[in-house]
């Protein structure tokens, strides 16, 4: 609890935070003393969403905080806007004047309190006093998963290679008593994971396939596949300095999968969970795979390499094929896969792909209710022909300059056959500019929505 700057021990004490909007401003002011109302008037406080004002008491110390919510000028009402306060209020103990909305606001507070402090001292943070409740417990489960994923993404590649990512997954597995295994190095070839091996063989840090299994074998089977490219230089098709500078986040899909797994296991959801993470580093060396090379895949079809900087879909292909072999009831891939998705929808709105209409509707619903935005994109079948190769069963990219996120999803879809419900999420894994409850840096997109979906999954 304390790591999220929330306190249930003294929830009735602290400086009150009064939430209001333009319509309720007068009512909020009526609850203040006359000198405080004069202070608010002199401060020319305007109740625009995200605006706040610390109002002093008779001694000059903070006596109350006004915080404005509601729709902004574009009509957007940010459900996580309360997460703005931990980064701006003075360090002190606070409480909510409204006692009926603690759970969801506690999550926003926790997410907004996050700091990545592995290499530097964390800044002081205010504490929010909240009463115990089932909704609060759920918020803490989500916060644990989000913090784990953010920490993994924010850790630089020198301290977060394939072996360290395996260690993080193993630690999570041990915490929750799940089965755990990993296939590394040349054993990937022995165990028929040739594409994972091909991408990661150029690095001195051995590639591997991480496999975590938890839950009752008789429960609905849900398999998560997370892209774990711990650093992506682009390989021989090397990236320019700008795009390469953020490539520590290219294991954001793996981090998101582990964060989601943490939520599932902490909540003890009635599912049989499997997490598969192909963990590699895409490096440049004499052993690097090359454009024009042809490799077999786990599923069987041969794959021509069109560009070594499109490595993520290759490692996912083998992992998806492995996961699909046991025909899970739901198969999900999470990956920081394409720049094309960012061109189409920007950094804050990840696309997802599925042929399952019922599943698509549920994802769209939980994305709205979870304040975890997602947008469905089409698996447009005519573009599948763009993946043809004259010398192999397929190329893993297209030479067309269009629809890069769609064609990547179509490539992955070729490796899913037995699972009737498959959804692919092309996430960014990063917040480029800080916003309420979303500090700048690593971000676990989509997993709050997916967790909400799985809470209802039967």
HSE, CB side, 13 Å, CA atoms: give it for residue 443: 26
**Band of the pLDDT at 102, cuts 50, 70, 90?**
low
Nearest to 157 by CA among 235, 234, 231, 98: 231
Q: What is the pLDDT of residue 394?
A: 98
d(CA 66, CA 21): 10
pTM of the model: 0.96
pLDDT of 2 strictly over 90: no
SS3 65: strand
Q: How many whole angstroms from its chain centre is CA 439?
A: 13
Q: What is the pLDDT of residue 76?
A: 84
**Band of the pLDDT at 457, cuts 50, 70, 90?**
confident
Q: What is the pLDDT of residues 396-419, one digit of tens each?
A: 999 999 999 999 999 999 999 999
Extended strands (E) in 106-158: 127-129
Domain ranges of the chain: 2-132, 142-455
- Mean pLDDT computed over 304-327: 98
Q: Do the domains at 2-132 and 142-455 have one common CATH topology?
A: no
Q: Which residue has the higher pLDDT, 12 or 176?
A: 176
Q: Residues with catalytic annotation?
A: 239, 313
pLDDT of 9 strictly over 80: no
d(CA 453, CA 190): 37
Which range among 59-63, 189-193, 266-270 shows the weakest confidence by mean pLDDT?
Answer: 59-63
* Percent above pLDDT 90 for the chain: 91
pLDDT of 1 strictly over 70: no
Average pLDDT of the chain, as a whole number: 95
d(CA 99, CA 83): 17
Q: What is the pLDDT of residue 188?
A: 98
- Domain 142-455 is classified in which CATH homologous superfamily? Zn peptidases (3.40.630.10)
* Percent above pLDDT 70 for the chain: 98
**Band of the pLDDT at 11, cuts 50, 70, 90?**
low
d(CA 214, CA 273): 5
Domain 2-132 falls in which CATH fold? 3.40.220
Identify the H or E element spanning 103.
helix 102-113
Q: What is the pLDDT of residue 420?
A: 87
Q: What is the pLDDT of residue 100?
A: 66
- Mean pLDDT computed over 230-239: 98
- Mean pLDDT computed over 190-207: 98
Q: What is the pLDDT of residue 437?
A: 96
- Mean pLDDT computed over 382-398: 98
Q: What is the pLDDT of residue 99?
A: 66
pLDDT of 137 strictly over 80: yes
Backbone angles phi, psi at 268, to 5 degrees: 55, 45
């Amino acid at each position: 609890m304390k790591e999220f700057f929330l306190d249930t021990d003294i929830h009735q004490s602290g400086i009150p935070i009064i939430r209001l909007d333009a319509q309720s401003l007068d009512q909020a002011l009526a609850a203040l003393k006359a000198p405080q109302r004069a202070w608010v008037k002199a401060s020319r406080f305007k109740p625009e969403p995200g605006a706040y004002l610390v109002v002093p008491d008779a001694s000059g110390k903070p006596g109350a905080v006004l915080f404005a919510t509601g729709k902004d000028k574009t009509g957007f009402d940010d459900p996580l806007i309360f997460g703005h306060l931990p980064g701006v209020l003075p360090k002190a103990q606070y409480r909510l004047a409204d006692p009926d909305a603690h759970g969801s606001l506690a999550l926003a507070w926790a997410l907004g309190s996050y700091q990545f402090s592995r290499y530097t001292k964390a800044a002081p943070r205010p504490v929010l006093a909240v009463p115990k409740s089932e909704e609060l417990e759920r918020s803490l489960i989500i916060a644990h998963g989000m913090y784990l994923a953010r920490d993994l993404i924010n850790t630089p590649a020198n301290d977060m290679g394939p072996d360290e990512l395996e260690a993080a997954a193993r630690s999570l597995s041990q915490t929750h008593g799940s089965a755990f295994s990993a296939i590394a190095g040349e054993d990937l070839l022995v165990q028929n994971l040739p594409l994972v091996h091909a991408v990661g063989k150029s690095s001195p840090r051995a590639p591997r396939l991480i496999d975590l299994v938890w839950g009752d074998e008789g429960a609905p089977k849900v398999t998560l596949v997370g892209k774990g490219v711990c650093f992506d230089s682009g390989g021989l098709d090397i990236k320019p300095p700008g795009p390469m500078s953020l490539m520590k986040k290219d294991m954001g899909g793996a981090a998101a999968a582990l964060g989601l797994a943490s939520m599932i296991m902490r909540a003890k959801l009635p599912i049989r969970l499997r997490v598969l993470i192909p963990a590699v580093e895409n490096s440049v060396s004499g052993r690097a795979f090359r454009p024009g090379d042809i490799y077999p895949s786990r599923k069987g079809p041969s794959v021509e390499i069109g560009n070594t900087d499109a490595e993520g879909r290759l490692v996912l292909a083998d992992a998806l094929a492995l996961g699909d072999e046991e025909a899970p009831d739901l198969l999900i891939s999470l990956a920081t896969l394409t720049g094309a998705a960012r061109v189409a929808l920007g950094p804050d709105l990840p696309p997802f792909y599925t042929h399952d209409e019922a599943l698509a509707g549920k994802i769209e619903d939980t994305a709205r209710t979870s304040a975890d935005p997602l947008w469905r994109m089409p698996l447009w079948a005519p573009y599948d022909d763009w993946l043809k190769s004259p010398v192999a069963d397929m190329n893993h990219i297209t030479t067309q300059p269009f629809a890069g996120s769609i064609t990547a999803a179509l490539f992955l879809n070729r490796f899913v056959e037995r699972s009737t419900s498959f959804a692919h999420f092309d996430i960014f894994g990063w917040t480029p500019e800080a916003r309420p409850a979303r500090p700048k840096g690593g971000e676990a997109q989509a997993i709050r929505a997916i967790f909400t979906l799985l809470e209802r999954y039967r």
